[in-house]
Amino acid sequence: MSEPITVVVTGAAGQIAYSLLYQLAAGMVFGPNQPINLHLLDIPVMMKVLDGVVMELEDLALPLLKAIVPTADPAVAFKDVAAAFLVGSMPRREGMERKDLLAANVEIFKVQGEALNKYARKDVKVLVVGNPANTNALICSHYAPSIPKQNFTAMTRLDQNRAQAAVASRLNVQVDKVKNVIIWGNHSSTQYPDTAHATVTLEGSTKSVPTEINNEDWLNNIFVEIIQKRGAAVIAARKMSSAMSAAKAAGDHMRDWWVGTKPGEWISMGVLSDGSYGIPKDIVFSFPVTVENGQYKIVQVNFSS
């Protein structure tokens, strides 16, 4: 067994965290041999609920979970953390766009950025889940100048997972047979899910997704709209935003960032732009990336191929 790492989850009494915490404690994200200490941050009025979450974590009886620290104090929550899941934010409700959340979230991510800067490890990996995630990641990094800006990422893995599932359903294959769907932009209705370089494994061989689907209208219009509006559709159906699927995506994102991507496979992450594809530098934008030794690299896709 390795030495325990400390992982913080904000908004820890909320719905996304409720699904995420089991993944972390069970070794599904950082590996089956990596013990963890969980720091759980929420606002003071949620401490009673958080007590119940702690009881459930204890009752899981999972050997990798070495310590649980519930707190409303960012100084305690971010102390020595190696990985941070910034889930807590002003929630999006039916009829709201992500821009409506911006003003409310500035103060939240300012405080958390300052706490990361002062208390966290300087190599901490920060995943912003709370929306608007790309803007919140930029705000957070601004207030944590001692931590490399590349260590702040925003989640678009939920959109990638949605897109892979939609393609798999269309082709009537298992979802793990579909690879390298790309999410460009932001986790919002302006994102662009791209299958141009996606592949599918059929009868033991790798095929092009656009060739196999063979329907430009579905790929360029129907599919794009499905993915762009999926979050709103979930809210309309359950009167709350995506939680179980968002938690799974957060775990997927951090696992691949921590452990690395498989050869030949890309994932979508909101990362600091280096100017690739003409995207202005120093904004957080979703690109296809590969990860090796804990470092991500933007994939340079050849659009002429």
Q: Is the dihedral of CA 281, 220, 154, 31 positive or negative?
A: negative
Using CA of residue 70, residue 32, residue 252, residue 303, what is the dihedral sign?
positive
Spatial separation of the C-alpha atoms in residues 29 and 212, rounded to whole Å: 33
- In order, the DSSP letters of 231-277 are HHHHHHHHSS---HHHHHHHHHHHHHHHH-PPTT--EEEEEE--SGG
Annotated binding site: which residue ranges?
Answer: 42, 92, 98, 105, 129-131, 162
Task: Please calculate the CA angle 122-152-23 and round it to the nearest 5 degrees.
Answer: 90
Gap between the Cα atoms of 210 and 282, Å rounded: 32
Look up residue 31 and give its two tokens: 């590996």
* 187 assigned to active site: yes
Catalytic-labelled residue, pool 39, 142, 187, 197? 187
Instruction: Cite the active site residues.
Output: 187
